[in-house]
Amino acid sequence: MSVINIKNLKKIYNDTGVPVNAVNGIDLTINEGEFTAIVGPSGSGKTTFLNMLGGLDKPTVGEIHINGTQVEKLSASKLINFRLNNIGFVFQAYNLIPVLTAKENVEFIMHLQGKPKKEREARTKELLTAVGLEDRMDSRPGKLSGGQQQRVAVARALASRPRFILADEPTANLDSKSTENLLDMMEKMNKEENITFVFSTHDARVVKKARRVITIEDGKIVSDERKN
Q: Over pLDDT 90: what percentage of the chain?
A: 44
Over residues 2-40, the pLDDT tens digits come to: 889 999 999 999 877 788 889 999 999 999 999 999 999
Beta bridge partners of 200: 38, 168
Over residues 73-126, the pLDDT tens digits come to: 999 999 988 988 888 888 877 788 999 999 999 999 888 888 999 999 999 998
The confidence score (pLDDT) of residue 202 equals 87
Domains of the chain: 35-60+68-226 (3.40.50.300)
The confidence score (pLDDT) of residue 113 equals 87
Would you say 149 and 90 are in contact if contact means Cβ atoms under 8 Å apart? no
The confidence score (pLDDT) of residue 89 equals 87
Distance CA 158, CA 19 (A): 38
Predicted TM-score (pTM) of the model is 0.86
How does residue 144 score in pLDDT terms, banded at 50, 70 and 90? Answer: very high
**Total residues belonging to the chain:** 228
Q: What is the mean pLDDT of the chain?
A: 89
DSSP letter string, 107-161: HHHHHHHT--HHHHHHHHHHHHHHTT-GGGTT--GGGS-HHHHHHHHHHHHHHT-
Mean pLDDT of 142-154: 88
Q: Over pLDDT 70: what percentage of the chain?
A: 100
Over residues 154-199, the pLDDT tens digits come to: 888 888 888 889 988 888 877 888 888 888 888 888 888 888 999 9
The confidence score (pLDDT) of residue 162 equals 85
The DSSP call for residue 169 is: S
The confidence score (pLDDT) of residue 138 equals 94
